[in-house]
Amino acid sequence: MTNEQDHHGLDLFDETASAVRGFPNAMLGYDKKAVDEYIRDLERQVSLAKHQMREVQRELTAANLRVDDTDFSKLGAHTANLLKVAEAQAGDLLQKAQGRAQAMLEDARNEAERTRNDASQVAETARQEGIASIKVLREDLERQTSQELEAARTEARGLREAADRHRSTVVADAEQ
């Protein structure tokens, strides 16, 4: 199917593709024929893409072989020497760049580890502070509860004593 042809369904190789236009509705869902046609079209596109990828891979491999087997003998001796020196320098530069990239990667890993350790320490400190805060709150609550309980007991004793006095007064008045 060419790009000029109109097709139904979602073009998976088009970044702007959208399934919004969808498939035609049938009695109980989508039209099976339209879905099957769309799947076959996708399979053709995938097969074509795989074939093109294999072809490009073969071309790349062949190009790499041609580059690796550069024959400077057909050039003048001076030019051949210059090219060999340039090739050696390019190799050295590539090796140095790879070394710097590896060092930068190692630095980034070390920094990430330090950051992870710092975050872990901050989290542990926060956890410990939270535990200490909860402990203080619990102690305050226990102290407040004890004080309120003691106040309630004192009030109950006072009420009982007042009731006993009142009872004694009522009994004494009744006996007179």
CA distance 71 to 75: 9
Would you state the pLDDT for residue 176?
78
Which residue type, as a one-letter code, is found at position 27?
Answer: M
In a domain, 102, yes or no: no
In a domain, 44, yes or no: yes
User: Mean pLDDT of all residues in the chain?
Assistant: 80
**158 has pLDDT over 80:** yes
The residue with tokens 């975050």 is 119
**21 has pLDDT over 70:** no
Percent of the chain with pLDDT over 70: 77
In a domain, 60, yes or no: yes
**19 has pLDDT over 80:** no
Q: Residue length, the chain?
A: 176
Q: How many domains does the chain have?
A: 1
Question: Please, which residues have CB within 8 angstroms of residue 11's CB and are 6 or more apart in sequence?
Answer: 17, 45
Would you state the pLDDT for residue 3?
42
Which stretch of 10-19, 58-67, 156-165 has the lowest confidence by average pLDDT? 10-19
Q: Which two tokens stand for residue 52?
A: 């093109």
Q: Taking residues 75-102, what's their average pLDDT?
A: 84
Q: Taking residues 109-124, what's their average pLDDT?
A: 87
In a domain, 89, yes or no: no
Between the alpha carbon of residue 29 and those of residues 11, 20, 33, 39, 113, the distances in Å are 20, 15, 12, 16, 53
pTM, full prediction? 0.37
The residue with tokens 């003048």 is 76
In a domain, 46, yes or no: yes
In a domain, 157, yes or no: no
Domain span holding position 39: 1-69
